[in-house]
Chains A and B, each alone.
Chain A
Amino acid sequence: MSTPATEFTLAELMICAAANVWKDDGEVLATGIGVIPRLGASLCMSTVNPDLMMTDSEAYMVSEPVPVGPRGDYQPKFETWMGFSRIFDNVWGGKRHAMIGPTQIDRFGQANISCIGGTYDKPKVQMLGVRGLPGNSISHANSFFVPDHNAKVFVDGECDMVGSIGYNPERLPHGYSLDDIDIRFIITNLCVMDFGGPKHQVRLVSVHPGVTVDEVKANTGFPLHIDGDVPVTAAPTVEQLALIARLDPHNLRAKQLRDNPPGIRK
């Protein structure tokens, strides 16, 4: 697992960066919503963390990641029924790490998939609703995926509808500490970030090949913690790319980012 690839797409780079978020988790349910997060979790389970648990995205836990898209002759290897009521049992027990792609994320790591603009009673754009974000955020580890890193996603101020608890001291409920909140990584099309700055400030962990720190700053609506020289996100290995091709036989990953850009920006 150590021959760096010289040609790869940005989507493949992001899948490998996403895979890293679960590597030290041990035996938890990895939920990646969307093709790139799910392939990240699948790659992680297939390589560095075989103890990880995943579902078929319907109602069963599987012994190995199910390839995305039409399955042909492939039969998912069911091992445990995992209907929605049991998902909540798992969530509240804390043995889960989810990666979702919110529409807005603020400096506190609070996220929004519910509605934006206007007023709450008459929003400009109604989206999904809060779904499971409140429960995820106060129960287990969470990471975020952002396919188009810009200041509309990484908002100045708080999200229009705060759907998940983050590192905002003013919203901390009685009897809890900020250390009870566990927001890990943000994987974007420009960089990798975490909440490792002072007082859980968002920190730039690495920039993707060809991306500058200034570009990340200019596209983020709040100040980032920059700790010395920022490294470049590691390129996928040849072995990782081969595995990704098996986990995504229909190349759905090529349709996730506009124009499917190369991983090394020219």
Chain B
Amino acid sequence: MNKVMSLAGVVGQLRDGMTIGIGGWGPRRKPMALIREILRSDLKDLTIVAYGGADVGMLCAAGKVKKVVFAFVSLDFIPLEPYFRVARQTGAIETMEVDEGMFLLGLKAAAMRVPFLPTPVGLGTDVLKVNPSIKTIRSPYADGRELVAMPALDLDVALLHVDRADSRGVCQIKGPDLYMDDLFARAADKTFVTCDELVETSAFHSEEEARYVYWERSETTGVVPMAGGAHPTSTATYGFDVKHFGAYAATAKEEGGWQSYVDQYVTPGEDAYLAAVGGLEAVRKLPKPVF
């Protein structure tokens, strides 16, 4: 089965109002080329489920978002995501704000096809107050303890960026962390990935390589070869682009700043994007983050 497709092919399968999970974590390994393709589309009223960074900020800035399911939205070295802030502070979006671990359990529940998973996490906090849809239950066993019934975060679609994939949807992540990408893939009806490198299946034919494949190809719906497709976020081979993120964040303080970012980096398309950020070789040389 050949699952290779284009960015436009993926976005053509998305519909207004869909619930879309986005892999990665903050400024790390986000499917940014797919995000930019959504920005170029007419899609709207999306519910975005993400350990959020500029993916969430950009979709909010472009008015694509009805609701965000999040534990944080942050660029890490720039702690507060500028466009997410604007969206929140103008009351433009609905929210489901949960703990990072509750978020994991919601994806896991969806992946397991159960309605919820029990956890003490969230008890005693305003997470339960601001999310009246999240219920608590009592343990049916002798302890009788109260527990949060974290609801399944069922996704229509998951969008992920991986380091390498083959045309059949075998995906490899060799960076320091897979984050919750495996759970996003399993929680979604359809999972589309961009990959820095499209490889022959034989590339995985060793214990060393196969260890870095975290879900079965049956979880992958489509594969888009997109070298540098995570930029300005980081992957196994390149770091996140501190300078680019800084310039992006600065546009939020300028009149018409978002439109100027769109004009410069989004509208012209992905080939022009890569050229505008210095070319693929420059992206591949971006240093990895050090803390």
- State the A residues within 8 Å of B (CB): 56-60, 68-71, 83-85, 88, 91-92, 110, 114-115, 118, 120-135, 137-139, 161-166, 168, 171-176
Contacts and interface: CB of A to CB of B under 8 A. Distances in A.
B80 A127 contact: yes
Contact of B97 (A60, A69, A129, A176): A129
Contact of B121 (A135, A161, A162): A135
B124 A166 contact: yes
B146 A132 contact: no
A175 B70 CA distance: 28
B149 to A, nearest CB: 13
Given A83-B178, A175-B139, A137 B104 contact: no
Contact of A165 (B25, B100, B124, B179): B124
Nearest to B84: A126
Given A126-B84, A130-B127, A131-B100, A174 B144 contact: yes
The 9 closest A-B pairs by CB, nearest first: A165-B124, A122-B91, A175-B145, A59-B176, A126-B88, A129-B72, A134-B99, A83-B177, A57-B291
B125 A163 contact: yes
A70 B242 CA distance: 15
A175 B176 contact: no
A132 B125 contact: no
Nearest to A68: B291
A171 B124 contact: yes
B80 A126 contact: yes
B15 interface: no
Interface in B42-95: 70-74, 79-80, 84-85, 88-91, 95
A58 B27 CA distance: 12
Contacts of B104: 85, 88
Contacts of A58: 176-177, 289, 291
Contact of A114 (B85, B97, B179): B97
A59 B234 CA distance: 14
B135 interface: no
Contact of B89 (A91, A123, A161, A174): A123
Contacts of A172: 124
A8 to B, nearest CB: 25
A173 B119 CA distance: 12
Contacts of A68: 291
Contacts of A134: 98-99, 101-102, 121-123, 125, 127
Given A83-B178, A122-B89, A135-B100, A129 B124 contact: no
A91 B72 contact: no
Given A163-B126, A176-B120, 13 more contacts: A58-B176, A58-B289, A70-B290, A118-B89, A129-B71, A129-B97, A138-B123, A139-B121, A162-B125, A166-B124, A173-B124, A174-B138, A176-B146
B227 interface: no
B199 interface: no
Contact of A126 (B89, B101, B177): B89
B144 A175 contact: yes
Contacts of B126: 120, 161-163
Nearest to B124: A165
A125 to B, nearest CB: 7
A111 to B, nearest CB: 10
Contacts of A165: 123-125
B152 to A, nearest CB: 17
A175 B79 CA distance: 37
B145 A176 contact: yes
A86 B79 CA distance: 23
B273 to A, nearest CB: 27
Interface in B126-163: 126-127, 129-130, 136, 138-139, 143-146
B252 interface: no
A68 B90 CA distance: 37
